Chain A
Amino acid sequence: MVEFFIFIFIVVILVALGWGLLGMLKGGKSGSDKMFKSLVTRVVLSVILFALVMFAAYMGWIEPNNVILDAPTQ
């Protein structure tokens, strides 16, 4: 479940970043505004995601990537 939220966060962050790129491509006052707002959104979401990952790890909801995936039967 936590992994799902993390994945959604990353997708939204990528969308915000892409939105910012479109603003930069457009140029002018409206493009500049669009870019700035998108990048602010990107930064805020990224900080929240980092806090979420750290909190989830602290609570034991997620574990580092060191689990055995498919160990063969000996």
Chain B
Amino acid sequence: MSAQEYYIPNGTYWPIVGSVGVSTLFVGFANQMHGASWGGSVMAIGFAILVFMMFGWFGQVVNESVNGNYNNQVDRSFRWGMSWFIFSEVMFFAAFFGALFYARQLSVPWLGGADNNLFTPELWNGFSATWQQVAMNTPAAISQAGMEYSVPVKLVDTWGLPALNTLLLLLSGVTLTFAHHALREGKRNQIVGWLVATIVLGVLFLGFQIAEYGHAYHDGLKLTSGIYGSTFYMLTGFHGFHVTVGAIMLTVILYRVQKGHFSADSHFGFEGVAWYWHFVDVVWLGLFVFVYWV
């Protein structure tokens, strides 16, 4: 294909297969949460459809690329497509960080009587405006204790697992940078080694995140634990999901590196995934600083 021709892809059924897979997965998940016995099975079917879609769709695009169907115009389209995707991701996390900021800096202090809310102490007598508001008492426990409102009963540990996880993710950024450098130098064995290290560090991060959730849940921090619990799980949960997606993408890139799909001069697939991983890394750094420390 010449550089002047505008590439029009063939019709493909993979998007609708993906939609069916995601819908099935979430119908199963929602019903599982509501206690339906068939929820887990439907989830498994949806997940299988998604995996089938990923293999099929990724494989089709990779084959088109390797067979030389793509010209410079397609290359630019891919780069713009990735940029818009990134823009949507930035807006996504900006919304949750905004919610965290609003709750912590504005609404919780207001409820505690800050600024000119003179009557707040009268309306919410006994309410203590604290952050983190972890492990709020249940309505039944509040009633039993004769309290009017719930109070925070326990704080999350900021050292330990959160700090260790930050270190792991930062290290994965370092190993990925070495892989990137090796790719630009055309040293395939080194790329494979550094990419494997990056994926292992990402999986370790996810493992420790699950352990952290176990601790937090055991201590009573849940999605229902007031505004802190909600923002904590929404931010860290969606971040964990992005790490999972990033690890899958890196695994695909690892496979493509081994197949020799990239050269030192042409490797957009690697660049797109590398940038995504760096972005996820920075989001966690922001989470670590703003949720746990500053």
Interface band, chain B: 35 or more
A48-74 interface code vs B (CB 8 A; 1 in, 0 out): 011001100100001011111111111
Judge whether B109 and A3 touch: CB under 8 Å. Answer: no
CA A53 – CA B288 in complex, angstroms? 10
- Once A27-B75, A71-B129, A72-B112 are accepted as A-B contacts, the answer to whether A65 and B282 lie under 8 Å apart by CB is no
Contacting residues, chain A, for B159 (C-beta < 8 A):
57
* Interface magnitude class on chain A: 35 or more
Kindly state whether residue A25 has any CB partner on chain B within 8 Å: yes
Decide if A46 touches B271 in the complex (CB within 8 Å).
no
| B:125-171 near A, CB below 8 Å | 125-132, 155-156, 158-159, 163, 166-167, 170
Write out the residue numbers on chain A whose beta carbons fall within 8 Å of the beta carbon of B278: 17, 20, 39, 42-43
Interface residue stretch chosen among B15-23, B56-64, B76-84: B76-84
Does A53 contact B293, Cβ atoms closer than 8 Å? yes
Contact present for A39 and B177 (CB under 8 Å): yes
Closest to B181 in A: A36
Residue of A3, A54, A70 near B163 (CB, 8 A) is A54
Would you give the shortest CB distance from B91 to chain A, in whole angstroms?
14
Q: Are B184 and A36 in contact (CB under 8 A)?
A: yes
What is the interface of chain A mostly: helix, strand, loop, or mixed?
helix
Contacts of B120 in A (CB 8 A): 72
Q: Per a CB cutoff under 8 Å, which of A3, A14, A36 touches B282?
A: A14
Q: Is B124 an interface residue (CB 8 A)?
A: yes
Q: Mark B266-294, 1 if CB is under 8 A from A, else 0.
A: 00100110110011011001101101111
Would you give 17 A-B contacts (Cβ < 8 Å), ordered by A? A6-B289, A21-B86, A25-B79, A27-B76, A27-B79, A36-B181, A39-B180, A50-B166, A50-B167, A53-B293, A64-B155, A65-B131, A65-B132, A65-B291, A71-B130, A72-B120, A72-B124
Using a CB–CB distance below 8 Å, which chain B residues touch chain A? 75-76, 79-80, 82-83, 86, 104, 108-109, 112-114, 120-121, 124-132, 155-156, 158-159, 163, 166-167, 170, 173-174, 177, 180-181, 184, 265, 268, 271-272, 274-275, 278-279, 281-282, 285-286, 288-289, 291-294
Q: A residues near B, CB below 8 A?
A: 3, 6-7, 10, 13-14, 17, 20-21, 24-25, 27, 29, 32, 35-36, 39-40, 42-43, 46-47, 49-50, 53-54, 57, 62, 64-74
